[in-house]
Amino acid sequence: GAVVSQHPSWVICKSGTSVKIECRSLDFQATTMFWYRQFPKQSLMLMATSNEGSKATYEQGVEKDKFLINHASLTLSTLTVTSAHPEDSSFYICSAEIAGTGRKTQYFGPGTRLLVL
Amino acid sequence: AQSVTQLGSHVSVSEGALVLLRCNYSSSVPPYLFWYVQYPNQGLQLLLKYTTGATLVKGINGFEAEFKKSETSFHLTKPSAHMSDAAEYFCAVMPSSNTGKLIFGQGTTLQVKP
């Protein structure tokens, strides 16, 4: 149980294009999902908290107009990197919190590696 | 501000030896504490967590960790390392259950030598 998937797992795009990454909770409902970014050999940095049916809460320094988050259902959150540039190349990981668990455990997706040429 | 420090970015042990990965945190209130493992090009898998109650927490794959409030530590141990334990390990703190935000340490790469 508590499986989180991400799609795609790999994406290569040209500079200036937009890329959408999906995060799905497969066997549970998630009122809250989190998006992280991980650079090579570094730790995870929280980008934003995604709440179903409401606007995402972004961490300081994260451009909300560049990283669009939509949490339209209890099992799906999407992260769209708009007008991607090479510096946006990174490993993007989402996590989901099972509804009703009191915010104590996040289950992570396998990650999406983005390479912007 | 809350923070997590993992002492030693790289730890190398022999197969069968004790594994000790250190984690210290700073928090004004007792936080929730987690250890996650990450294999190459994969997401994070929860090893164990401390929320309340018993301070010695047992997790998957033979790992355990002890919450020591006086030392603000949550070190991860395993009595006998296995080759499959080689991975990146992250300690994380959830300062407040209200937000659910996790603050991660820098990570420790565990190498297991045959």
- Report the pLDDT value the prediction gives residue B31, as an integer from 0 to 100: 80
**Residue A88 forms contact with B (CB below 8 Å):** no
* pLDDT tens per residue across span B65-93: 999 989 999 999 999 999 999 999 999 99
Q: How far apart are CA B5 and CA A109, in angstroms?
A: 24
**Residue A34 forms contact with B (CB below 8 Å):** yes
* pLDDT tens per residue across span A99-114: 776 666 789 999 999 9
CB–CB of A108 and B43 under 8 A?
A: yes
Q: Distance of CA B13 to CAs B9, B67, B73, B79, B80, Å?
A: 13, 23, 21, 11, 10
Which residue's structure tokens are 């799906």? A76
Which residues does chain B have within 8 Å of residue A95's beta carbon, measured at their own beta carbons? 44, 102
Give the mutation candidate from A103, A107, A113 for the B interface (greatest B CB count, under 10 A): A103
> What mean pLDDT, rounded, does chain A reach?
91
Phi/psi of residue A87, each to 5°? -70, -10
CB–CB of A105 and B46 under 8 A?
A: yes
Q: Distance of CA A26 to CAs A5, A11, A110, B9, B83, Å?
A: 7, 22, 13, 34, 31
Q: Which residue type does B20 have?
A: L
Task: Give the pLDDT of chain A (117 residues) as one tens digit per residue.
Answer: 688 999 999 999 999 999 999 999 998 888 889 999 998 878 889 999 998 888 899 999 999 999 999 988 899 999 999 999 999 999 999 999 887 766 667 899 999 999 999
- Report the pLDDT value the prediction gives residue A2, as an integer from 0 to 100: 83
Beta bridge partners of A91: A38, A113
Phi/psi of residue B36, each to 5°? -120, 155
- Give pLDDT < 50 ranges for chain B: none
